[in-house]
Structures are given as structure tokens and as C-alpha cells.
């Protein structure tokens, strides 16, 4: 029984005269294996159809077409097909085994390295496709998965399963494809419109592939497949330099010409692509310099990391010795190290320069305001007074009542207490002297008991226009005021002892007799 199981396992690894060595790629309908002839040492690549796919006629037709196209091609940058076999058990293609990854894996893992080999890649791919066009075929499915490139920049194009004949003569008018075939992100607009295909379709797909090498993504994206196809037809691609600033304007122009919507606006042949790219400056800074710079930065970072590790290892060794000699001191050192590491990881606080004005402002002593109280105390409590020569309005609500200290407030204004003399005034910026024509008249009320000296304030200390109080009415037209109380007389004495600059304008003071 054991011998029978062993024989069945060995038979699974044998396909006709070939021995399956290792699986290279796995698809929905086919698998690619590394194989070798039984008893031989030469290895090949076998594209083998899965048993379920052998029941589908369209899959078999695709493999038969690939064998037909491959047999007609002979170019060093095109994969060489050797055999096509179709029997009851198997259907497979045998071709050269090229030991190199495809562009898709290399773009994902090391795109700069691909950019460093881009010129050689474009030349080799374009020449291979030019040979294919000369043989009468359009590849129709150029994309990173179907281009293999080695570290030495050797290129091979694979997978001819979607190839179609080049439309010529009458074929351009009547040779419309029956269905849209291709990969959505790389498909040419004329393929979507089911128009006859020529070399321009492969030029467009190669341009999309180069665009992805330069930027890391294809130019057209959408929420659904239909949206992507519509963008291929109608939307202009953004220049690669808008995503990768290292791309030159000349390279932008080269790519956008390959991605023109109409085939006649692109390069007319792959020979023109090759001749254009040979002397074209693709990058502002050469990729070799970028790679060297990145390598130097990586080496410097690794050197610093190794140095820190050495210092840490020495410190750990010293701490282990100290732990035996003096455990308490070792614990303190460990705590200090942890605190230092935490402080390094924390973000730096804001610079203290922003807090200096706030800290110094309350330390400044309040300065007296020349010319009177600030505007916030003057405007709401003492509205404009009538012009000289006009009688003071007498509020009806005070008729028959004695005049309160400070006089009657005009009608329509709320009664608010006058601010106390001891209240500190908010600091205000220095004011410019008021122009001479806007100074109030130097008329002082002639009262036997005035609360302030009768001499006018100096001319250089006149208040600004914003703090100018209204002119007071003539003293002979104001109603008599009652005698001053004792507390108010004491306050008068204090005011007389103060400097004139500390007093408000006489027109602003309450009328006291």
C-alpha cells in the first residue's frame, strides 16, 4: 500500500517528459512551474493549464494564440517559446526560464532601483515591441506584471495571450474587436472604444507603465471600473513631476505624448520612442546620486545606533557591577536613566519668550492719567453738555428736590456713581497732544469753593481728541448746590495736595459749591 502512494506522489510531479521542480506563479486558470527534462539538467518554465480551466474553450484558445504568436517572434527581449502541448491530461507551454522578478514586485519593493535602470528598460521594451509590430502583432497587455527585468537591466516581455494582428489597410475599417480585452489601469482609449489597433496601443500602455515607475501609481483611478475607463478616454493625465519633483520637464513632455488620447498624437512607432529617450534628461538629480545619498544617511544612522548600543552595553555592565557593590547607588542611577529617557521622548515646551510680556505687565506701577479718567469712565457717565450760553436742561424728575452732589445728570442717561478717586486707572498708551484748534476754551467756573485749583492745565498735557470731555455750562446758569459735607471737604484737601496732572479736567468735575 505504501509503494502505491509513493508512486502516485511521484506521478503528480511528472508532466510528460518534464519534472516539476518548483512553483513560480499561480493564477486563476494557469500555473507557471520551473521544470527540467527527466534525466537532464536544463531548466525551463512551463505554463500549465489547471484541470478546471481545460473545460473552458476560451482559455484553451488563449493559450493556442500565445503559442502561435510566440512561434513567430525572435527577439532577445521577448521570451522564447519552445513547445505547445494539448492532450487529454494536460495543456501547457514550454519556454525559456528567465530568473528575474517582474516589474510589479520591484516597483513595490525598490522603485528607486528601477528608476536607476529606467533608460535601459524603456529602450529594451520599445525595441522588443517594435519587433513584434513588424511581425504584425500588437501585444495589447503591456503592464509591470508582463515585463521581467534583472539587476543587470536585461529585459524580457512575456504573455502574448491577448495579442491581436496589427490593423492594416481594409482591416482598419472593418477589423473591429468583438470584445474589450486588457488591464483597466493600462488599457488604451482605442481599445476601450473597440477601434482597430496599431502600435499606438502598446505605446500608450508602455507610457502608463513608465508613469507608474516614476510616481509609484498609475494616472487614472476611480471608484468603479467604468469610471477608470472613462478617464482613459476623456481625462488628461497629470504631469509626473507634480508627484515626483525630481522628474524633468522634458520627461513630462515625453510621457504625456505617449499618453495622448488619439494614436496619431503619440509617437508613430517604437523606433521614435527609442530615439527620443536616448538623449533625454529624465531626472533633475541622477538616481545614482540619490541612492548614494540615501546609503550614506542609512550608514550614518546605523553607526549612531551601534554607538548608542555600545554605550548602553557598557553602562549595563557597570550597573551590574555596581549592583553588587552598592545596590542603592545602582537603583538611583537606573532611576536617573529612566527619567532622562522620558525627558527625551517628551515634546519640548513652548519657548518662554511668549510669557515675558504677561509676567512683566503686572509688575509695572500704575501711572496717573493726565487729563482725566479713561474713556470707559467718562463716556457712559457724563454725556455731552450744552454749548456755552445755553441753559442746562433741568430733568423733570428732580423738580422740587434738592440738587444732589455732582449736579443733575441729563435726561435719557443712566445714573451711575462717579468712580472713586482712589481707584487705580488702567494703564493706557501715551497719547499725542490734541491739536490747538480742538482745545476746549480755558473757562473755569467761578465758584467760591472749587474742588481744584483754578489755573489751567499746561498746554503740553492737553488730552487727546478721543478723551476730550464736553464743555461745561457757564457757572451762572447752573442751579445752586448744597453745602459740602465734611467727608467731601477732606477729599478736596487731598486733591489740592496732588499735582495738577493727576486731576481730571475741570469741566469733568462735579459742580461743588
| Angle at CA of residue 443, ends 440 and 448, nearest 5° | 145
Angle subtended by helix axes 118-134 and 199-215, to nearest 10: 170
Among 66, 75, 284, 93, smallest CA distance to 164 is for 66
**How far is 443 from 455, CA to CA, in rounded Å?**
10
How far CA 491 is from CA of 51, 415, 417, 469, 504, in Å, comes to 114, 22, 16, 23, 14
SS3 assignment, position 325? helix
Q: For the purposes of burial, counting CB atoms within 10 Å of the CB of 85, is it exposed (0-12), middle (13-18) or buried (19 or more)? A: middle
User: Which H or E element spans position 130?
Assistant: helix 118-134
Alpha-carbon distances, residue 83 vs 55, 71, 91, 310 (angstroms) = 21, 9, 11, 60
Largest Cα–Cα separation, the chain: 139
Q: Which helix (H) or strand (E) holds 34?
A: strand 30-37
Q: Measure CA of the first residue to CA of the last residue in the chain; give whole Å.
A: 135
Query: How many other CB atoms are found less than 10 A from the CB of residue 206?
Result: 25
| Torsions phi, psi for 419 (to 5 deg) | -65, 140
| Residue whose entry in the numeric block shows the C-alpha cell 516539476 | 20
Q: What is the Cα Rg of the chain in Å?
A: 48
SS3 337: helix
* Catalytic-labelled residue, pool 74, 134, 141, 202: 141
Nearest Cα to 410, choosing from 437, 368, 429, 382?
A: 382
Q: In this structure, what C-alpha cell is assigned to residue 160?
A: 502574448
Instruction: Extract the C-alpha cell encoding 5.
Output: 502512494
Q: Is 141 labeled as catalytic in the residue annotation?
A: yes
Which residues are marked as active site?
141
Amino acid at each position: 500500500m505504501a509503494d502505491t502512494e509513493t508512486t502516485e506522489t511521484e506521478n503528480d510531479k511528472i508532466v510528460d517528459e518534464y519534472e516539476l521542480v518548483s512553483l513560480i506563479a499561480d493564477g486563476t486558470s494557469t500555473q507557471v512551474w520551473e521544470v527540467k527534462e527527466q534525466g537532464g539538467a536544463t531548466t525551463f518554465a512551463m505554463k500549465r493549464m489547471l484541470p478546471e480551466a481545460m473545460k473552458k474553450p476560451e482559455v484553451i484558445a488563449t493559450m493556442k494564440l500565445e503559442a502561435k504568436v510566440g512561434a513567430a517572434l525572435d527577439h532577445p527581449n521577448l521570451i522564447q517559446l519552445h513547445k505547445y502541448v494539448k492532450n487529454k491530461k494536460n495543456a501547457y507551454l514550454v519556454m525559456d526560464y528567465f530568473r528575474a522578478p517582474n516589474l510589479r514586485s520591484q516597483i513595490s519593493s525598490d522603485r528607486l532601483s528601477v528608476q536607476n535602470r529606467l533608460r535601459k528598460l524603456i529602450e529594451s521594451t520599445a525595441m522588443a515591441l517594435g519587433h513584434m509590430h513588424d511581425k504584425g502583432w500588437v501585444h495589447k497587455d503591456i503592464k509591470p506584471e508582463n515585463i521581467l527585468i534583472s539587476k543587470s537591466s536585461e529585459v524580457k516581455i512575456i504573455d502574448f495571450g491577448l495579442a491581436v494582428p496589427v490593423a492594416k489597410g481594409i482591416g482598419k475599417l472593418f477589423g473591429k474587436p468583438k470584445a474589450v480585452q486588457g488591464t483597466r489601469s493600462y488599457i488604451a482609449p482605442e481599445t476601450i472604444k473597440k477601434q482597430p489597433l496599431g502600435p499606438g496601443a502598446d505605446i500608450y500602455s508602455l507610457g502608463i507603465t513608465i508613469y507608474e515607475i516614476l510616481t509609484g501609481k498609475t494616472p487614472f483611478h476611480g471608484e468603479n471600473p467604468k469610471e477608470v475607463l472613462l478617464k482613459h478616454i476623456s481625462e488628461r493625465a497629470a504631469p509626473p513631476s507634480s508627484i515626483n519633483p525630481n522628474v524633468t520637464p522634458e520627461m513630462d513632455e515625453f510621457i504625456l505624448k505617449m499618453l495622448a488620447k488619439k494614436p496619431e498624437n503619440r509617437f508613430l512607432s517604437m523606433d521614435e520612442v527609442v530615439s527620443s529617450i536616448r538623449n533625454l534628461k529624465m531626472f533633475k538629480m541622477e538616481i545614482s546620486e540619490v541612492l548614494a545619498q540615501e546609503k550614506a544617511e542609512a550608514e550614518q544612522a546605523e553607526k549612531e545606533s551601534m554607538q548608542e548600543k555600545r554605550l548602553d552595553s557598557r553602562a549595563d555592565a557597570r550597573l551590574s557591577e555596581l549592583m553588587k557593590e552598592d545596590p542603592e547607588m545602582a537603583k538611583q542611577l537606573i532611576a536617573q536613566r529612566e527619567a532622562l529617557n522620558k525627558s527625551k521622548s517628551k515634546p519640548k515646551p513652548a519657548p518662554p519668550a511668549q510669557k515675558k510680556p504677561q509676567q512683566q505687565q503686572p509688575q509695572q506701577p500704575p501711572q496717573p492719567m493726565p487729563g482725566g479718567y479713561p474713556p470707559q469712565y467718562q463716556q457712559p457717565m457724563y454725556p455731552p453738555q450744552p454749548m456755552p450760553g445755553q441753559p442746562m436742561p433741568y430733568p423733570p424728575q428732580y423738580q422740587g428736590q434738592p440738587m444732589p452732589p455732582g449736579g443733575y445728570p441729563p435726561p435719557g442717561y443712566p445714573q451711575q456713581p462717579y468712580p472713586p478717586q482712589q481707584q487705580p486707572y488702567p494703564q493706557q498708551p501715551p497719547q499725542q497732544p490734541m491739536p490747538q484748534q480742538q482745545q476746549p476754551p480755558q473757562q473755569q467756573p467761578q465758584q467760591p469753593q472749587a474742588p481744584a485749583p483754578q489755573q489751567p492745565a499746561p498746554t503740553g498735557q492737553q488730552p487727546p481728541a478721543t478723551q476730550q470731555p464736553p464743555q461745561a455750562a457757564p457757572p451762572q446758569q447752573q442751579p445752586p448746590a448744597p453745602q459740602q459735607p465734611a467727608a467731601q471737604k477732606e477729599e478736596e484737601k487731598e486733591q489740592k495736595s496732588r499735582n495738577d496732572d493727576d486731576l481730571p479736567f475741570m469741566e469733568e468735575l462735579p459742580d461743588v459749591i
